[in-house]
Amino acid sequence: MRRKYLVQELLRETTQKLTQAGIERAAREAQLLFMAFFEKDELWLISHQKSEVEVEEAFFHWVERRSKNEPFEYIVNRVSFYSEEFYIDEGALIPRPETELLIDEIEKNVVDKDAVMIFVEVGVGSGIISIMLAKKFKNAKIIAIDISSQALRVAQKNIEKFGLQERIELREGSLLEPIVESIDYLVSNPPYIAADAMLESNLSYEPQNALFGGSVGDEIIQKLLDEVLKRKIRFFSCEMGYDQKDKIQNYLKNKNFSSLEFYKDYSAFDRGFTLKV
Ligand SMILES: C[S@@+](CC[C@H](N)C(=O)[O-])C[C@H]1O[C@@H](n2cnc3c(N)ncnc32)[C@H](O)[C@@H]1O
C-alpha cells in the first residue's frame, strides 16, 4: 500500500518514531533513511520540503528496523569506505573507518606500486581491503580467505561490482590453511575482541565470528604471527585492539624478524602493526 506525504511531514513522523525508540540524532537519521530510500541528495531534500511523495510500506519497514537499532548500513545495503561505496548485508562486518589506516600502512610499505606480487588477506569480510589493494597495486594478485561462506558471498558481490574477478580470488577456509603459494604480503583485520567483552547493542547484528578473536581476544593474531614466521612472509600488516600492543611485543620477544612497527588510529589509540621478517 502506498500513502501520500509531504516530505516535511514524513520526516517529522519518522523523526518522532526514531526519537521514541531512543535513536540518537533522530532528525538526521530520518533524513538519511529518506535520502537512501528515495535516492535523493541533500540539495533535493532542502528544496523539496513541501513536495508530495508516495511512500511504500517498505520505507516504514526500514524505519521499524532502525528503531530496533539495526545498523543503518545493513538496512540500506550500502557502506562507504575509503571514498568508495560497497554493498553490505548481515553476512559481513560493517567496515570501520579506522581500517582505512591499514590500507595507508600497506601503501607506505610497498615501495614499487607496480610490482608483480601476491597479497593474501585473512578474513576478507565484505572485501573492502582486498578491493582497495587491487585498485592501488595494479599488478598485484590478491587471494582472500574467510571462514564464513556468508562473508565470501558479500565479498564476491563487491568484487563483481568493481570488476575485479580476475585479480581477487576468494577461498573458503581458516587462517592460511587454503594457501600453498608463497606470499609477498599478508594482510588482516582479524576478529580481536575478547569473548566476554561488553559491547554496544547494535553490534549484536554483526556476525559474531567477525568480532570475537577468542577468550583473550588476540588468539587469531598470534596464530597469524606464527604462520608469518614459519613461512617467512616478508610483510605482515594487521589491525588489532587498542590494548594489545604489549602482548604482541611480548609474544614476538626472542623471535627472529627484522622490524615491528605499530600505528595509531584517528583517536590516537594503538590500532595495528607491520611486522617485517
Ligand atoms: C573483523 S572482520 C574483518 C572484515 C573485513 N576485512 C573488514 O576489515 O571490514 C574479520 C573477518 O575474519 C573472518 N574470520 C574469523 N575467523 C577466521 C579464521 N579462522 N580464518 C579466516 N577468516 C576468519 C570473519 O568471518 C570476518 O569476516
Alpha-carbon distance 241 to 263, whole Å? 12
8 A C-beta contact, residue 141 and residue 66: no
Instruction: Give the model confidence (pLDDT) of 216-252 as tens digits.
Output: 999 999 999 999 999 999 999 999 999 999 999 999 9
Segment holding 142, helix H or strand E: strand 140-146
Q: Taking CB atoms and a 6 Å cutoff, what residues make up the pocket around ligand 1? A: 92-93, 95, 99, 122-126, 128-129, 145-148, 151, 174-175, 189-191, 207, 209-210, 220
In this structure, whether the domain defined by 90-276 belongs to CATH 3.40.50.12280 is answered with: no
Q: What percent of the chain has pLDDT over 90?
A: 96
Which residue, chain included where needed, has cell 605499530?
Answer: 262
Task: Please determine, for residue 1, whether its predicted confidence score (pLDDT) is greater than 90.
Answer: no
d(CA 219, CA 224): 9
pTM of full prediction above 0.75:
yes
Task: Convert the pLDDT of each residue in 245-271 to its tens digit.
Answer: 999 999 999 999 999 999 999 999 999
Chain centre to alpha carbon of residue 5:
36
**Residue 56 pLDDT exceeds 90:** yes
pLDDT for 200 equals: 83
Which of the listed residues 82, 146, 152 should we mutate to test ligand 1's pocket, taking the one with most ligand atoms within 8 A of CB? Answer: 146
Say if residue 94's pLDDT is above 90. yes
Cα 164 to ligand 1 centroid, rounded to whole Å: 20
Residue boundaries of the structural domains of the chain: 2-68, 90-276
Q: Average pLDDT over the chain, rounded to whole?
A: 97
CA angle 233, 138, 103 (to 5 degrees): 60
Measured by CA distance, the residue closest to atom 14 of ligand 1 is 123
What one-character DSSP code corresponds to residue 94? P
| Per-residue model confidence as pLDDT tens digits over 125-177 | 999 999 999 999 999 999 999 999 999 999 999 999 999 999 999 999 999 99
Query: What is the whole-number distance in angstroms between the Cα of residue 220 and the centre of ligand 1?
Result: 10
| Contact (Cβ atoms closer than 8 angstroms) between residue 95 and residue 79 | yes
